[in-house]
Amino acid sequence: MNYAACWEYPSDITVEMVEIMDDIRIIQAGYEDIPRIAQVTAESWKAAYSGIIAEEYLASLKPDRWIDSLKRDLNKSMKVLKVVKNEEVIGISGYGKSRHENYKYDGEIVSMYFLPTCFGKGYGHLLMKRVLAELSNLGYSSVVLTTLAANTRACSFYTKWGFSVVDAGILPDLGGIAYEYQLLRRYLP
């Protein structure tokens, strides 16, 4: 499928960024990828949430935290795409049926994480484009995702992709501290 024909990049993506992405492959992850998915997730959390989530909590995060849920959910309730550059997994996105009762007919982007060295290089746009196409191919007409309200970088990224806040609340416990989250939604063409 030609994903470029299905989705437009936000206006701030330059031709140079898209050309850099030519050496990138985005493919479905399998069980053999679980340790690397967990590693990318842990590294991304530590960088992306620094200054947002308590540093002690972030320092305590190990890839093992995600292993069991990945083993349970991968290819059942959730699919994972991996972004591969030079044979290294540099990013991941988990997606599937929404876990939110008020949006149970929507698709959901459960996660989107990159190695910190890959932040701000346009890879997220390429992955978002592919994830939205995958969710559309699964028959969803809208998609939700959750992010911390204080994560302004992520909120800005999702807004560029047409997401808007439809709900908010408090995450009960991340290392003993509650944080405000936002549930964002957008329709698929």
What percentage of residues in the chain have a pLDDT greater than 70?
88
Give the C-alpha separation, 176 to 179, whole Å: 10
Element containing residue 134 per DSSP (H, E): helix 123-137
d(CA 144, CA 91): 20
Residue ranges per structural domain of the chain: 3-140
Q: Is the pTM of this model over 0.95?
A: no
pLDDT per residue as tens, the chain (189 positions): 333 334 455 555 544 444 455 689 999 999 999 999 999 999 999 999 999 999 999 999 999 999 998 999 887 889 999 999 999 999 999 999 999 999 999 999 999 999 999 999 999 999 999 999 999 999 999 999 999 999 999 999 999 999 999 999 998 778 888 999 999 999 998
Please tell me the distance from the alpha carbon of residue 88 to that of residue 174, in angstroms, as a whole number: 30
Encode burial over 41-79: b for 16+ CB neighbours within 10 A, e otherwise. bbbbbbebbeebbeeeebeebebeebeeebeeebeeebb
State which fold the 3-140 domain adopts: Aminopeptidase (3.40.630)
Q: Is residue 12 helix, strand or coil?
A: coil
